[in-house]
Structure 1
Amino acid sequence: MTVLSNGLSRRGLLAGASVFTAAGSHAGAAKEDRLVDGVVILIDSNEPYVMGHAISYSANLARHFAERGAKLTIEVVANGKGIEVFRADKTALAEPLATLRQSLPNLAYSMCASSKAIAEAKEQITIPLISGATLVPFGIGRVVDLQLRGWAYIHA
């Protein structure tokens, strides 16, 4: 899969437009509107502006699809240094993340358990997660699993 410079895959870009031609359509066949199954947003940086982008992307995508009468499932996956966004002991975004989750019931937060274990070993602590965040075995594995199920991908 080709990823564009803004982190959006070509498939995700097409899916974000919310219109695909019907698979196997014949000449003259009507186009079929098809929304993506969901959008997965990967955060792998602890830069505040990157983490902030993931929040704004989630809100903007939900609003974009709601204007079209569709509910979009969104999952923000934190991997590597990006796990800081969901660390209750480090994130400055706990309140905005909680507010966003309350307003978007189809929004999920996932943290890479492998990255968490590495950080815990390095820092010699147990890392607490913000409310509502769950662990997945491998963040990047979760991203690929969702893409294989038809989800669009955005790299924050």
Structure 2
Amino acid sequence: MIPSNRLSRRGLVAGASIFTAAASGAAAKEDRLVDGVVILIDSNEPYVMGHAISYSANLAKHFAEKGAKLQIEVVANGKGIEVFRADKTPLAEPLATLRQAVPNLAYSMCASSKTIAEAKEHISIPLISGANLVPFGIGRVVDLQLKGWAYIHA
């Protein structure tokens, strides 16, 4: 097991590397992708979901101003899957607008959490346009952290 503080330091180092490269002018051409940021949503509270969306927009703008394109992935897990549920999300329009404005943004929903919710509610859960399923939300977060991505818990 890897201690969580090790992953956090690695995420901070990755974030600092992105900033340093962009600020020093060492960032390559505009089309170059640098390491990314993964944002975890595990709550169905509207303000938490809203924060994750605003974090995505602000990060994309921040790095674009520095000449860097940042990959951003918002991962919904547990109760947080509501953000990407076409039948429940209060943020359908802002999510669609943001996806159009930020081409390096991905939305991922935990398939395990979706299956549990479907069994509990006896329905098939529809996803918003542009959202993808990943086997395990928290597994996706850790996979990206191990690749050097920074981590934000919304």
TM-score, normalization: structure 2?
0.85
SS at match of 2:10: helix
CA contact (8 A) 2:34 2:71 kept: no
CA contact (8 A) 2:111 2:135 kept: yes
- Unmatched tracts of structure 1, length 5 or more: 21-30
Tell me, in whole angstroms, the C-alpha distance in 2 between the residues paired with 1:152 and 1:130: 25
Q: Which amino acid aligns with 2:113?
A: S
CA deviation profile, 1:60-83 (whole Å, cap 9, x unmatched) = 000111111000000000000000
Larger CA deviation: 8-17 vs 66-75: 8-17
Could you tell me how far 1:13 is from its partner in structure 2? 3.5
2:20 is matched with: 19
SS at match of 1:73: strand
**Pairing of 1:79-98 with structure 2 (within 5 A):** 79-98=77-96
CA contact (8 A) 2:11 2:145 kept: no
1:2 is matched with: 5
- Larger Rg belongs to: 1
**Pairing of 1:58-97 with structure 2 (within 5 A):** 58-97=56-95
Greater share of residues in helix: 2
Q: Which amino acid aligns with 2:66?
A: R
Tell me, in whole angstroms, the C-alpha distance in 2 between the residues paired with 1:95 and 1:71: 23
- Unmatched tracts of structure 2, length 5 or more: 28-32
Tell me, in whole angstroms, the C-alpha distance in 2 between the residues paired with 1:37 and 1:103: 19
CA deviation profile, 1:23-69 (whole Å, cap 9, x unmatched) = xxxxxxxx996895100000000000000000000000001111110
Q: Which amino acid aligns with 2:58?
A: N
Could you tell me how far 1:11 is from its partner in structure 2? 3.5
Alignment RMSD (CA, Å): 2.2
Equivalenced residues, count = 142
